Structure 1
Amino acid sequence: MITHMYFIRHGEAMSAVDGFVGDGGLSPLGILQAQRLRDRLAATKEIAADILIASTFPRALQTAQIIAPALGLPLQLDDEIQELRPGEAEGLPIEIFWERFGKPNYETMPFRPIAPAGESWAQFMLRVRTALDRIVRVHEGKTIVLVCHGGVIDGSFHSFFHMDEWELPPTRFSTRNTAITHWKKESEGNTRERWQLIKHNDGFHLQDIGTPTRIPWEQLSTQPASDADRPSIPVPTTKYEEEK
């Protein structure tokens, strides 16, 4: 049984433009980014989704509403795939947030909430990993699309690579607005889940913004011809792997 999970980060948010904590919905550019992704998905049919789920934060919800017609699915909402919850910092300009509550340091203080009624990094990662586990179990064997946030996509790496949620990883994923991240899992009975990262940060549909030329998606194949090649198979490195 094969499960596919596609993560789509929301378009640019007004909070990123105006420099405040929280949401404010999509910026004009964010709306255009989501529309470009919609056009790509409608033309290529590259994601044959069974389930479409969105975070309830406005920037993700708006993005999902824009792209939903391309997938032809009803939109399901899930509070548990929201971005890290800012609590009393919501709506504050960044400088006032830092002055009032201090700059968050997830590396040295992963258990410290960023503001009263807000979440810590550790709480956030535990919430995301719990939500992803639930979603995969409920929709096992299906193709799932989550329209969510950069932090949630970071959480997918933590979860599927079995990383420590209590520590910030030494790498940064920096997912672009409306970029696609694709994970695939083949069930192996009662053995440990093994996820394969198919692609990350695919935002090619943004390349024609601000140019006089549109990408001719309808003339492109859903998958590159090179994908027909078999991927390399890792050489077993342990006795356990050899026995499998």
Structure 2
Amino acid sequence: MTQLYLIRHAESMSALQGFVGDGGLSPLGIVQAQRLHDRLAATKEIAADVLITSTFPRAVQTTEIIAPALGLTPLLDDELQELRPGRAEGLSIQTFRDRYGVPNYDKRPFLPIAPEGESWGQFMFRVATALERILREHEGKTIVVVCHGGVIDGSFVSFFRMNLWTPPPTRFATQNTSITHWKKRGDIQAGEQWQLVTYNDTFHLLDIDTSTRISWGQPFAQPGSDANHPTMPISTEMHSDERA
């Protein structure tokens, strides 16, 4: 069984200061990543075989903070970068909009957001290709990928076989350092089935700016009650044309 954990980077300086691009982690971002490290170190809920990160600084810095909790050396992968801004890199949001306009991915999905940058269609194709490659290279393993909100969006587009070229009608709001967990059963010959286990799990951030820290103690990586849950749909959950 292949398991894929997608972790969005912690808050970046660009988000804090309102410019296009990176700038590394903000002070809050460093705290967020440390909280995720503490959670993973205490719970051991992710027994990862491989740790891969986008090469953008905000993702690399997040990975460097959480890597000791997983006991792995990160692998760098350029294809996991967020949508590439090209010449818009480093511009304030207002300057970017004045110079290049507000991107309209719905109406113009093939228009790069700026010269030397990417369009929505190019970005989604890159993400789908990168995930396919990573999953084939590490088939049957538990994979942790530290990446970006757009890459996590792309996982939904790819696994649900949505149209790569135009944004889906449903939007996502992936939080910093959130965990998105996908699980795959079967293989290419027998038939693959992806299951979304969790999305936007940020429980480790709940004690930020509070007087009490989360006491992790000895929580189970998987709730004991899950042992009673069926792993395949029961008859009432199947489509009417599948029932005997």
Q: Normalising by structure 1, report the TM-score.
A: 0.95
Kept after mapping to 2: 8 A contact 1:160/1:194:
no
**How far, CA to CA, are the matches of 2:225 and 2:166 in structure 1?**
37
Identify the range of structure 1 (227-236 vs 116-125) with the bigger mean alpha-carbon deviation: 227-236
Question: For residues 56-94 of structure 1, what are the alpha-carbon distances to aligned partners after superposition, in whole Å with 9 as ceiling and x for unaligned?
Answer: 000000000000000001110000000000000000000
For residue 163 of structure 1, report the CA deviation from its aligned partner.
0.7
**Equivalence for 1:43:** 42
**Equivalence for 2:74:** 75
- 1:219 correspondence with 2:218: yes
**How far, CA to CA, are the matches of 1:210 and 1:200 in structure 2?**
23
SS at match of 2:107: coil
**Equivalence for 2:239:** 237
**Equivalence for 1:28:** 27
**Equivalence for 1:4:** 3
**Equivalence for 1:121:** 120
Q: List aligned pairs for 1:167-182, cutoff 5 A.
A: 167-182=166-181
Kept after mapping to 2: 8 A contact 1:54/1:60:
yes
For residue 191 of structure 1, report the CA deviation from its aligned partner.
4.6
SS at match of 1:218: coil
Kept after mapping to 2: 8 A contact 1:5/1:143:
yes
- Gapped regions of structure 2 (runs ≥ 5): none
For residue 238 of structure 1, report the CA deviation from its aligned partner.
7.3
**How far, CA to CA, are the matches of 1:26 and 1:188 in structure 2?**
38
SS at match of 2:60: helix
Identical counterparts, % of pairs: 66
For residue 120 of structure 1, report the CA deviation from its aligned partner.
0.1
Q: Normalising by structure 2, report the TM-score.
A: 0.95
Q: List aligned pairs for 1:61-210, cutoff 5 A.
A: 61-210=60-209
**How far, CA to CA, are the matches of 2:134 and 2:4 in structure 1?**
10
Kept after mapping to 2: 8 A contact 1:10/1:60:
yes
- Amino acid of the residue matched to residue 36 of structure 1? R
**How far, CA to CA, are the matches of 1:188 and 1:138 in structure 2?**
13
- The number of residues matched between the two structures is 241
Question: For residues 29-72 of structure 1, what are the alpha-carbon distances to aligned partners after superposition, in whole Å with 9 as ceiling and x for unaligned?
Answer: 00000000000000000000000000000000000000000000
For residue 193 of structure 1, report the CA deviation from its aligned partner.
2.6
Kept after mapping to 2: 8 A contact 1:81/1:152:
yes
**How far, CA to CA, are the matches of 1:57 and 1:237 in structure 2?**
44
- Gapped regions of structure 1 (runs ≥ 5): none
